[in-house]
Amino acid sequence: MKKLEIRDLLKFKFISSLSFSPDGKFLGFVVHKMNEEENNYISNIWVYNTESKNLFQLTTFGRESNFIWLDNETILFPSIRDEKEKKRKEKGETFTIFYKISINGGEAEKYFEVPYIVRKIEKLNDQTFVLLVSSDKNIPDFTKPDEKEKQQALKKIKEEKDYEIIDEIPFWQNGAGFTNKKRTRLYLYNLKENTFIPLTDEFTNVIQFDIKNDKKKILFISNRYKNKMKIGADLFLYDVNSNTLEKLTHETSFRYTYAYFLDDSIIFAGSNMKKYGITENPKFYLLEPKTKHVTLLTPDFDLSLRNSVGTDCRYGSNKNAVTDENYFYFITTEWNSSYLNRINKEGKIEKLTKKGGSIDGFDAKNGKIYFVGFKDYKLQEIYELKDTETQITTFNEWVVKERKISKPERFTFLSGDGVKLEGWIIRPVDFDESKKYPAILDIHGGPKTVYGEVFFHEMQVWANEGYVVMFTNPRGSDGRGNEFADIRGKYGTVDYEDLMKFVDEALKRSPFIDKEKLGVTGGSYGGFMTNWIIGHTDRFKAAASQRSISNWISKFATTDIGYFFVEDQHASNPWNNYEKLWWHSPMKYADKIKTPTLFIHSEEDYRCWLAEGIQMFTSLKYFGVESRLVLFKGENHELSRSGKPKHRIRRLKEITEWFNKYLK
């Protein structure tokens, strides 16, 4: 077997968009792979026949990242397929072209075009579709077919391209660029008449929507704002026949996680954020539309309703909640793994998956359940869930068969104040008990996410480079309830102590680790903690700080979530307690740092803006500490997870070479 290398990432397959045909016979999904030459991703639709077990690739164009089923044998997807369409995009025209293709064979046919950027589409009936579109108050209207007006609109876009007018917050969003006066709006589109009916206004952001089985009602969560986006949202019900909109919001300042129809009722999850702030775990509620009566179904439920298990081997998006028959299906994270569950209208919850790992997404239809997951320390595959989990694809099977893999070894330990914690080490491949090895502490982001026993490319690369890799879930992590995750006002205290206690425990249990050759790295919150650690201890001989936070005051005023996240997580803002924000800022302790540090940052990271990395880098250079800053143009906060292929390779190469320089 060969050693796993950085460039093996280019060969991995990533699976997304799992979706059943209306009759449940076919399962569609998208397979993504990297295209190094073009420095992008190739995405094609595949189909699995759940009865014959036949698996086949449906499209070959390579740009089909999402789709819906028009009927039991026809798929609808957006695509740009000729040079004229590309040139229209380049000139600034906004539109989405939809193609349809039969799963029984034949070429894709152009079906219709709409003058909006469509984020999501659902079929209401043969002539009507529900569109979730990107709307920009500052972009001229392209719905009018008049060519003269279109050219005038394009001219205006060209004239305005060098300016950004900002008059609200947030004014930009990670991965979306400047978003001032941009919203996601709901429309009804009539295909026959080519007409558009807006269901929401120009100041409303629609977060999620669902259509009732009888196609007569549309449920959606939205947030309307001018000047400053509020935290929380509203719930609305639209009646298709009467063209009326009804507000169902049951409590002010409520944060809805999602909302779906369950028979004639509505099941939703969310939190009023009163006890644990914006990251408080949601609870389930049942709402009766006719009476507006709301019942709390799960008063004692205390888990996040998402997959928080981290890895650098995903691409694309998947469903994380579905209704089927009399059940609502959802994902939870518990300790180090995510699981598939279901709940009925009485509030009874059943955990459907038992094995650890990660449930990345799923679909359920007529009692059939399939999911995309990381299981048995393999990369993503599709599994059928009955009484057991049965793997049905082998897209990434070659990795475990052809490459050297070192699996994580879990252990538990007690924090300094007696809280049970968990951590792992990964031994170097070709491990020799008689040798001493350098080690890297890898810290997850969030902080409300988790590490688990799922395939992590960077960790396996380092194990193949001869490193011990150490990772843990300190307090602040997900999967163990609100109390464990709540480190508001404590950043850099209990979490830092837990991390250092973990390192002590790992060294005690693993005498083959060379304690004089320790490195530390992490991204986002992990980058903050890397910056914090090097300002509070010299035990690490090298550090790699990625998309980090160095100054909570600057983060408050420059990032897409800063003005509400910082205040919530530190119970402070720059006016009522700037001393506290500065005390928790790693930059405050930069004069104590001696650790050679690499900084990785993306120029379009609006979650932890460029200034955060620059400030820390400048501080270290000012005090004469060996440091290096690598900036990635055209990338954002998701560089390590969905960045351009060449950039992802370069990022990991920079970090690995930095550790090799100082730890070997």
The residue among 655, 561, 538, 553 whose CA lies nearest residue 601 is 655
Instruction: Give 246-272 pLDDT, tens digit per residue.
Output: 999 999 899 999 999 999 999 999 999
Same-domain status, 488 and 576: yes
Instruction: Give 328-386 pLDDT, tens digit per residue.
Output: 999 999 999 999 999 999 999 999 999 999 999 999 999 999 999 999 999 999 999 99
- As a whole number of angstroms, the longest Cα–Cα distance in the chain is 78
Residue 35 has pLDDT above 80, yes or no: yes
| Count of other CB atoms within 10 angstroms of residue 123 | 18
Write down the mean pLDDT value for the chain: 96
The whole-number pLDDT of residue 157 equals 80
Spatial neighbors of 618 by CB under 8 A, at least 6 apart, are none
Same-domain status, 389 and 511: no
Residue with tokens 């080519």: 194
Backbone phi, then psi, for 130, in 5-degree steps?
A: -100, 125
Domain boundary among 344, 376, 403: 403
Instruction: Give 264-296 pLDDT, tens digit per residue.
Output: 999 999 999 999 999 999 999 999 999 999 999
What's CA 443's distance to the chain center, in Å?
17
The whole-number pLDDT of residue 396 equals 98
- Answer for the pair 12, 458: CB distance below 8 angstroms, yes or no: no
- Answer for the pair 168, 137: CB distance below 8 angstroms, yes or no: no
Average pLDDT over residues 387-411: 97
Domain that holds residue 431: 406-663
Task: Give the number of domains in the chain.
Answer: 2
Same-domain status, 498 and 380: no
351: region left, alpha or beta (phi > 0 left; psi from -120 to 50 alpha): beta
The whole-number pLDDT of residue 457 equals 98
Residue 153 has pLDDT above 80, yes or no: no
The residue among 593, 590, 596 whose CA lies nearest residue 663 is 596
Complete DSSP assignment for 356-414: -SEEEEEEEETTEEEEEEE-TT---EEEEESSSEEE---TTHHHHHHEE----EEEEEE
456: CATH? 3.40.50.1820
In SS3 terms, 294-358 reads as EEECCCCCCCCCCCCECCCCCCCCCCCEEEECCEEEEEEEECCEEEEEEECCCCCEEECCCCCCE
- Answer for the pair 595, 563: CB distance below 8 angstroms, yes or no: no
In the chain, what percentage of residues exceed pLDDT 90?
A: 93
Backbone phi, then psi, for 249, in 5-degree steps?
A: -50, 125
3-state helix, strand, coil in the chain (%, to 5): 20, 35, 40
Same-domain status, 463 and 605: yes
Q: Which amino acid is at 149?
A: E
Q: Is position 456 within any domain? A: yes
Instruction: Give 154-163 pLDDT, tens digit per residue.
Output: 888 888 888 9
Same-domain status, 452 and 496: yes
Residue 140 has pLDDT above 70, yes or no: no
| Count of other CB atoms within 10 angstroms of residue 543 | 28
Average pLDDT over residues 447-472: 98
Average pLDDT over residues 460-474: 98
The whole-number pLDDT of residue 143 equals 67
Q: Is position 146 within any domain? A: no
The whole-number pLDDT of residue 141 equals 66
Q: Is position 26 within any domain? A: yes
Residue 538 has pLDDT above 80, yes or no: yes
Q: pLDDT tier at 47 (50, 70, 90 boundaries)?
A: very high
Instruction: Give 71-125 pLDDT, tens digit per residue.
Output: 999 999 999 988 888 888 888 888 999 999 999 999 999 999 999 999 999 999 9
Instruction: Give 469-518 pLDDT, tens digit per residue.
Output: 999 999 999 999 999 999 999 999 999 999 999 999 999 999 999 999 99
Same-domain status, 380 and 454: no
Same-domain status, 486 and 384: no
Q: Which amino acid is at 124?
A: L
- Answer for the pair 451, 443: CB distance below 8 angstroms, yes or no: no
Same-domain status, 390 and 410: no
Instruction: Give 616-661 pLDDT, tens digit per residue.
Output: 999 999 999 999 999 999 999 999 999 999 999 999 999 999 999 9
Cα atoms in the Cβ-side hemisphere of radius 13 Å centred on 403: 26
| Count of other CB atoms within 10 angstroms of residue 585 | 27
Complete DSSP assignment for 531-586: HHHHTT----SEEEEES----HHHHHHHSTTHHHHHHHHHS--TTT-HHHHHHT-G
CA distances from 315 to 183, 332, 358, 518, 559 (A): 24, 20, 14, 31, 24
Residue 429 has pLDDT above 90, yes or no: yes
Return the structure tokens found at 545: 């700080």
Q: pLDDT tier at 20 (50, 70, 90 boundaries)?
A: very high
Q: In what order do the strands lie in the sheet with 597-602?
A: 409-414, 420-426, 468-472, 437-443, 513-523, 542-546, 597-602, 627-632
Q: Is position 202 within any domain? A: no
The whole-number pLDDT of residue 62 equals 92
Same-domain status, 363 and 502: no
Same-domain status, 527 and 548: yes
- Answer for the pair 337, 291: CB distance below 8 angstroms, yes or no: no
In the chain, what percentage of residues exceed pLDDT 70?
A: 99
3-state secondary structure of 612: helix
Same-domain status, 372 and 452: no
Q: Is position 102 within any domain? A: yes
Q: Is position 163 within any domain? A: no
| Count of other CB atoms within 10 angstroms of residue 84 | 9
Q: Is position 162 within any domain? A: no
Domain boundary among 340, 372, 403: 403
The whole-number pLDDT of residue 144 equals 64
Residue with tokens 């996410």: 449
Q: Is position 209 within any domain? A: no
Taking the C-alpha atoms of 55, 56, 58 and 60 in order, what is their torsion angle to the nearest 10 degrees? 140
The whole-number pLDDT of residue 92 equals 84
Domain boundary among 403, 418, 440: 403
The whole-number pLDDT of residue 159 equals 83
399: CATH? 2.40.128
Same-domain status, 567 and 578: yes
CA distances from 453 to 153, 379, 459, 621, 640 (A): 53, 11, 11, 38, 19
The residue among 212, 209, 233, 211 whose CA lies nearest residue 220 is 209
How far apart CA 189 and CA 218 sit, in angstroms, is 14
